[in-house]
């Protein structure tokens, strides 16, 4: 059974069909890239998966459970945005631990899980630092840790490295791939960069004008004229 089942999802904004009858199945542990030009509907699909946007029609199932009408906090999903919006008045540890504190976990568990998440993104020992003192790449790693610490079944990433320089972007891709494989986590990664999709994806879903044009393995998508 697919871990994530997207069925006939549609969303209209005024006269714009932002998402038009999109259906995709994603297997457990798979990294799916949503690839397409700006305005093709990628972010709207992702926001609907995370519960930040309501579809006009269609449904979203995770492990067979219909989550279409659940709010973000009741879904087993995590989201990483392009602009990370870390809290500058809190240190790195508190930024990452925040969601666990809301869940009122025991202190010892919070400490352990937060340190494990920081370790996973290569920021072991960075807990006491201020986010504003970190580089762009390090800040984006904190944002990643903040999502991972909640152990989402599915991690949703919206152009998470778009503001980083080319070199760093490539390194972050590799790290995401490693985390994804090590943690066995399912990911949906939005990008408008073909290189990025080719480097990352198990499968690529190509979007254009709100529609899904093609879903295939990277080499098959690339071969098409």
Instruction: Tell me which residues touch ligand ADP (CB under 6 A).
Output: 13, 16, 18, 36, 38-44, 159
H helix or E strand, kind and range, residue 38: none
Reading the block at residue 19, the tokens are 């998402």
Residue 167: CB minimum distance to ligand ADP, A:
22
Radius of gyration of the chain from its Cα atoms, rounded to whole angstroms: 17
Residue 66: CB minimum distance to ligand ADP, A:
23
Residue 211: CB minimum distance to ligand ADP, A:
11
Question: Closer CB to ligand ADP, residue 39 or residue 193?
Answer: 39
Nearest to 218, CA basis, from 209, 205, 208, 207:
205
Question: Closer CB to ligand ADP, residue 36 or residue 137?
Answer: 36
The side-by-side arrangement of strands in the sheet containing 57-62 is 16-26, 4-13, 57-62, 65-66
Q: 29 near 46, Cβ under 8 Å?
A: no
Question: Closer CB to ligand ADP, residue 13 or residue 87?
Answer: 13
Question: Closer CB to ligand ADP, residue 142 or residue 190?
Answer: 190
The contacts of residue 181 (CB under 8 Å, 6+ apart) are none
Residue 50: CB minimum distance to ligand ADP, A:
12
């Amino acid at each position: 059974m697919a871990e994530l089942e997207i069925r006939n999802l549609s969303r209209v904004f005024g006269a714009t069909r932002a998402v038009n009858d999109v259906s995709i199945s994603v297997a457990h542990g798979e990294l799916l890239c949503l690839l397409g030009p700006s305005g093709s509907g990628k972010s709207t699909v992702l926001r609907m998966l995370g519960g930040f946007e309501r579809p006009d029609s269609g449904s979203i199932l995770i492990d067979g459970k219909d989550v279409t009408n659940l709010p973000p906090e009741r879904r087993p999903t995590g989201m990483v945005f392009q602009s990370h919006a870390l809290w500058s008045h809190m240190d790195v540890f508190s930024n990452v631990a925040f969601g666990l504190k809301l869940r009122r976990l025991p202190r010892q568990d919070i400490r352990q899980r937060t340190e494990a998440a920081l370790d996973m993104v290569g920021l072991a020992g960075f807990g006491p630092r201020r986010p504003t003192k970190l580089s762009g790449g390090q800040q984006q790693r904190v944002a990643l840790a903040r999502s991972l610490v909640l152990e989402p079944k599915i991690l949703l990433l919206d152009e998470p490295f778009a503001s980083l320089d080319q070199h760093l972007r490539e390194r972050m891709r590799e790290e995401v791939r490693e985390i994804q494989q090590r943690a066995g986590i399912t990911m949906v990664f939005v990008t408008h960069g073909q290189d990025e999709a080719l480097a990352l994806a198990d499968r690529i879903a190509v979007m254009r004008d709100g529609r899904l044009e093609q879903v295939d393995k990277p080499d098959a998508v690339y071969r098409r004229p």
